[in-house]
Every structure is written in structure tokens, then in C-alpha cells.
Structure 1
Amino acid sequence: MRHVTRKERREIRFFRCGGATSRPNADAPTSSPDSIMEPNPKPNHGISAYYQTRAEHHAIISGDWLSQAQAAAAAGHPPEEPPASAAASKPFSVIDEFNHWRRKPDLAEAVAAIMALVAGIRSSDATTMMELEIELKKASDALKSWDTTSISLSAGCDLFMRYVTRTSALEYDDFHAAKLRLIERGEKFGEISLKARRTIAMLGQDFIFDGCTILVHGFSRVVLEVLKLAASNRKLFRVFCTEGRPDKTGLRLSKELATLGIPVKLLIDSAVAYAMDEVDMVLVGADGVVESGGVINMMGTYQTALVAHSMNKPVYVAAESYKFARLYPLDQKDLEPALRLIEFGVPIPAGVEIEKSARDYTPPQYLTLLFTDLGVLTPSVVSDELIQLYL
């Protein structure tokens, strides 16, 4: 009997779920540190534009900025619009529009893409629904190719396309009415996405109790929102932050939590097992939630979950629904590489290879619950929710 290859197994599992996938081009251009805010990032050492953006944002993010942004969102105020003069001076570019929104530290890249796509519908000169949908598809593809390693960006674009185009244009008497309906649906999707973080924070409050110790890994804005709301509700808890090498994400998160008056202890990444007996729960974010119910997140999430599982500690994941992606990785090497610049601070001997992978895959059996804007889900339910989202 012929041996079935890994690729064939993956395709079989995808078609059983009623969908298909296409792996991004591993040779797609990525960005350099100097081109982080340029519309079209240039390749430099294969570093992912997605992680360059995260590093840039985390370096300048502040508690005051977050408070102002969240207050504006809670009050229902629309986000800042691009300057009218800039829009009038040159033709619309979905990449330029995306770059305008992604510069905001509190705005996820997927939401920035959604904002750009809505603007694309508004500025379109199409005269038929067919032309408009073709333009929208090209804009979505352009955004996804900006960084093929960004799972949330790709998933956000795909979900947006499904959401805004699922209503048939035949329901409307004229093209103008149909276009207005698409804009309305696009704005609604953007509104839902903007509120997702707050919704997740409220759902997570039932799991944080007085006197508990929470271990977090990496800098996640939704995890920060969960902890921030718990602190505002006068819950008494402490947080262990892993250092988060090489970009010191844990150090940045610890500063934010300390500003909020939350007791924080900073751990080196290799001290997770040593400190786990003091921990009541692990709380992490996610770059992407896949069909198996597992998550793709910052490197080290997998080993943290393994240690927690072995010591019977619950592992909770906080992730927005626009990060639900139609992917089914079978192992760690089944992921599209997302690379980061690694600095050890000392000369590296010639011929020594450096592992630059920025993320790993945590299988569902090591996760307890996922806090999402769709509700609190077990990993086994994710595939059902994914099918509903994409259909």
C-alpha cells in the first residue's frame, strides 16, 4: 500500500471540512527595519513584516494611549479618518490606506485591513457588482500579499470578503443600493472587530479570582485588556511575565501591568517549569486559531502549554474571531516560516546556525478554553465556529 505524504494528509483533512487551502509563497517579499512604515516593505534577511510591525508598535505603546483608544471605542466614536487632502491628491491605494491604519499601536493588522477594504468600496468607480467584487478581491489579495506570514491579516481579509459579499446583488433594484449595502456590511464587520477585544475581556472575568497567579507569555493586547479590566474590577491577583526573548515582549507587558498597579514578576523564558507550581492558570494570546482548535502564537507558547498541562494547570487563550484561519498544521514544521531578527549580544562563531522562527503551534489537547468574541469555546468547538464564519 502506497505511503500517504504529509501534504496529501493535510489536503484530505481540509476537503473533509469542506474547504481548501493554498500555502503562501515562502519567497514573498518581507520588510526591513528601515522600511517598517513604508507602503511596500523591502526584503531584508527574510524578517517578517508582521513581526517588524509588532516590534515597532510595542516599542511605543503606552497605558495612556491604550486608555484613550479604548475610551473612544467604548463611546462609539469613529476612528480617525485619513486626511482629505491626501486622499484627493492621488488615486486610492489599498496599501496606503492599510498603512495609515496599521500605524496605530492599538489597532490590529486585521482590523486595519478591514478599514482599508471598506475605504476601497467607497472609492470604487465600478459600475456593476461584478466589477466591484473583482476590485474588492484584488484589494484583498494585495493586502494578504503584503505579508504572507501574517495569519490574522489573511484570515481577516477572507472573513471580510465572505461577510460583505454574502448578500446577493439581485436583492436590490440598482447598483447604487447594492454598493451602499456592501459599505454598510463592511462598516458593521469593522465595528464588530473593534469591539472584539472588550467583549473577550468581559468574558474572561469569570475565570480570574482573588488571590490567583496568572502566567502570561508574549505581549498580547487582548490579554492586556483582560487583565486591565480585572484590575479595574478590584480583583486581587498577580502576574508572572516571561521575558519574551528576543524582542522583550514580556518586559513591555510587565511595564504596562505595573503601571496599572498589578503585582508582576518577570521570569526568564527558561524558568517556566520552575515557576509553574506557583501558577494557577496560563493566559496567552494568539496570532491565529486553526481548524484543529490549536493556536499559532509567539515562540515558546507550545512549551509553556506542555509544562502547564503536565502539572494540571489550565491554559486559556484569548483571541478575536478574525484570527480564525482555515489552516490545519500537522506539526511544528508545517507552518509558513515567520522569521525574526535574533540578537544574542555576543559574536556568533562562524558556521553556527541560528533558529529565527518567531512562532510555534500549540495542539488543542494542551489548551483548556478559548476566550473569543464568539463566546468561551473548547478547542473541539473551534472547527464548527470556523465553518459558520466562513460560510
Structure 2
Amino acid sequence: MDICTTYRHKLRDEQVNSAPHLRSTTLIATLEISPPLAAILALSELCATSDAGTMFELVKALNEGANSLRRNSSNPISLNAGCELFIAFVTLFPHDSVPSAVRADPHCEFEAIIEFAEKIIPHRQALTYRTKIAELSVDFIKDDSVILTHSYSRVVMESLLLAHRRSKRISVFVTEARPRGLGLKTAEALTAAGIPCTVILDSAVAYAMEKVDFVLVGSEAVVESGGLINAIGSLNIAIIAKAANKPFYALAESYKFHRLFPLSQYDLPSHNPGILSFPSPVETDRAAEKASSSASSESRSAPGAPLSSSITQEQIAQNNPDVDYTRPDLISLVFSDVGSLTPSGVSQYLVGMFH
């Protein structure tokens, strides 16, 4: 099977009916499945269809499948969390609990592993985790709250919409979240629901912070230090919120908890040498010549017209990161389906989860 195709299929808003052992996981077909859960489902299907004859071969196939998913993803951080979770449970599977008659047949034992994973890994309940988190966080949203959120997060949307349905008067500042501009998607959804919403520039966060009661963001992953990996700009917002003494809350499903301990932005798996790189002198000269030629052509063809820039938004986006790392000392609480945790509580939970 092509695990990348399977992963993309799971990521879409469709029912998971491709394998009999996965049918029970399809509870809410209309909800988008997040990358870590899609990775878990793809690896589970790989496990079910594998022709491996031993556990060693199965774990090797799962690691190869996970590596393939990472190579074919521009931002593998989130799906990494799902891959690590599933492979850890397969590796730590209590084989002694399987009857000896079943252990004699590798495929029967693999089925037992899948059944075990179904109970431990949040397959059945995962699609309801956002609702659990919303129920937990909505108590922190008071009447007349002014909230700042960043980019687009399904779990944040769930929380804000729940607060609105419970007749809580809220107003929301939403950042543009360049380069992807997903803040506009959030603003459109909130406006359609009747929630007062204003889009602000990413550079206007400090200006707006005095009006804000607290910050509410989603996550790509929550790491072992208790820190947060999220859309680029989250760190800036957290620093400004800390300076203004405003709470900074993160919402994250437990399958986004990731055994990663970054010490800086450059320890993230998504970082590469091309990010924030300076062009070589040759590239600079070529860009200057192109700009000069374009300016001359522009001035000849349309006198008085504004000169076109030689630097495009696409070029800027390619030279900048998609995500950043927010330190745990900047985070007030992490709301998850396992409860409201401090950053140190996240560390303790991660240790226990992989023990």
C-alpha cells in the first residue's frame, strides 16, 4: 500500500471505510481529521495489510512508513506526534497477554495489536476530543471577554462557537497569520456565526493587546518541555502577552503531545538551511538587474505608474518558517482532553504516556 496516499485520504473529510478494522473509528464523517490522527490511521492500516512475518519486521515496516510520511510533508511536526504514539504502543505491546495459540500466527498477533491500539490510542474518541476541550475551556471564557486568537484552529473554533451558543458575549481579534493568511478563514467563520470579529495585522498585536483579556491559540504539537509548536507568530504573541500580564492559553488534543525537546527555534524538525538564508552575491546581482530591467520597462510602457517590486510574497514565504516554538514559561495553561495542564504537567503526562 502507498502510505502517503492513505494518509492524504484519511486527512480528507470522508468516512474511514477502507479497512474493516477501521470502520469503528468513523463516528463523525463531516469533521476534518487532524494530521497526527490521520497518521495513526494510516499506520494502523499498514499494520493490518503488512506481510511481515515477525514483530521486528512489522516495526521496521512501520518506521519506514513513518519516515515516508515525514519526507513527503512540508511540516512533519504534527504527524510525527501521531507516528511516535502508534509505534510506541506497538513496540511496548504486552505480548505476554496474548494467548500462545495466537502468538504462533503472526497475523493473528498483529490483529491483537490493532485491537489493543484501538483501546489505548484515541481512535474511537478522538473525533470528540475537540468537544471535550471546548467544554473544559469555555468556563474560562467570561461574559464581555475580548479574545485574541492566531491563524486557524479547529479546536479554538469549537471553543469560541460553544461560548457563543451558551450566550456568552465575546469579541475576537484575529491575526492575519501570514504567510498562509489563515486568520481570514477564522474571521469568516466567526462572522458567519454572529461573533463580533476584527482582523488585525500580525504587526499590530502589541497595539491591540491592551484591549485583550486573554490569548487563545491552537497547536501543531505540544512538546516534552511543555512548550508549544504552532503557526509562525505565536511566539511573538506569547512574549507580548507575558509583558502585558495577559493569560496565554493553548488548546491541544492529547495525540498532539510530542516527545520532542527543542532548545531553540532551530531544533524544530521543520527547520532547514534555506529558512532565513541570505542570497549569494550572484543572486543579489541578478535580482538587482531584473528589478532594474523591470523598472525601465514599466517606466517606458506606463509613465507615472508605480514600479513593481522584484520581491514577491511567494519568495518571502519560502524564506520564512511556517511554525515557531513558544517556551513553556510564556504559557499559562494547556487545555487538553486529559484536563487543564500546566506546562510542567504536560511533561509529566508525556513521561507517563510513553512509559
Normalising by the smaller structure, the TM-score range is 0.7 to 0.9
Deviation at 1:187, TM superposition (A): 3.0
State the match for 1:43 in structure 2. Answer: none
Alignment map for 1:208-287 (pairs within 5 Å): 208-287=141-220
Q: Deviations over 1:163-192 (max 9, x none)?
A: 244223233221354222212133342224
The answer as to 2:5 corresponding to 1:96 is yes
User: Does the 8 Å CA contact 1:315/1:369 hold for their aligned counterparts?
Assistant: yes
Residue type matched to 1:234 in 2? S
Cα distance change of structure 1 residues 295 and 346 upon mapping to structure 2, 3 Å threshold: farther
Deviation at 1:253, TM superposition (A): 0.3
CA distance in 2, matches of 1:138, 1:292: 27
Deviation at 1:264, TM superposition (A): 0.7
Residue type matched to 1:224 in 2? M
CA distance in 1, matches of 2:321, 2:193: 32
State the match for 2:309 in structure 1. Answer: 347
Q: Deviations over 1:84-106 (max 9, x none)?
A: xxxxxxxx222221121123381
Superposition CA RMSD, Å: 2.5
The answer as to 2:227 corresponding to 1:299 is no
The answer as to 2:344 corresponding to 1:377 is no
The answer as to 2:61 corresponding to 1:135 is yes
Deviation at 1:126, TM superposition (A): 3.3
Secondary structure of 1:361's aligned partner? strand
Q: Deviations over 1:106-156 (max 9, x none)?
A: 111111111111211222233444443333333233223332742111111
Per the normalisation by structure 2, the TM-score is 0.76
Moved more, 192-201 or 107-116: 192-201
Residue type matched to 1:133 in 2? V
Cα distance change of structure 1 residues 230 and 163 upon mapping to structure 2, 3 Å threshold: farther
Alignment map for 1:5-24 (pairs within 5 Å): none
Deviation at 1:215, TM superposition (A): 0.3
CA distance in 1, matches of 2:170, 2:57: 55
User: Does the 8 Å CA contact 2:74/2:270 hold for their aligned counterparts?
Assistant: no
CA distance in 2, matches of 1:171, 1:134: 22
Deviation at 1:316, TM superposition (A): 0.1
CA distance in 1, matches of 2:55, 2:162: 44
The answer as to 2:79 corresponding to 1:157 is no
State the match for 1:187 in structure 2. Answer: 118
Residue type matched to 1:291 in 2? E
Residue type matched to 1:202 in 2? E
Secondary structure of 1:336's aligned partner? coil
Moved more, 176-185 or 203-212: 176-185
CA distance in 2, matches of 1:133, 1:383: 26
Deviation at 1:206, TM superposition (A): 1.1
Percent sequence identity is 41
CA distance in 2, matches of 1:346, 1:327: 43
The answer as to 2:241 corresponding to 1:308 is yes
Structure 1: which 5+ runs fail to align?
1-91
Q: Deviations over 1:330-359 (max 9, x none)?
A: 2233333458999xx952369xx9441122
State the match for 2:265 in structure 1. Answer: 332
User: Does the 8 Å CA contact 1:118/1:187 hold for their aligned counterparts?
Assistant: no
Q: How many residues align?
A: 296
Cα distance change of structure 1 residues 140 and 247 upon mapping to structure 2, 3 Å threshold: closer
Deviation at 1:272, TM superposition (A): 0.9
Deviation at 1:198, TM superposition (A): 1.9
The answer as to 2:289 corresponding to 1:363 is no
User: Does the 8 Å CA contact 2:81/2:258 hold for their aligned counterparts?
Assistant: yes
User: Does the 8 Å CA contact 1:144/1:157 hold for their aligned counterparts?
Assistant: no
Cα distance change of structure 1 residues 136 and 246 upon mapping to structure 2, 3 Å threshold: closer
CA distance in 2, matches of 1:158, 1:336: 14
Secondary structure of 1:120's aligned partner? helix
Alignment map for 1:92-131 (pairs within 5 Å): 92-104=1-13, 106-131=32-57
Residue type matched to 1:380 in 2? S
Per the normalisation by structure 1, the TM-score is 0.70
Secondary structure of 1:329's aligned partner? coil
Structure 2: which 5+ runs fail to align?
14-30, 277-306
CA distance in 2, matches of 1:300, 1:356: 11
User: Does the 8 Å CA contact 2:275/2:321 hold for their aligned counterparts?
Assistant: no
Deviation at 1:211, TM superposition (A): 0.8
Pick the structure with greater CA Rg. 2
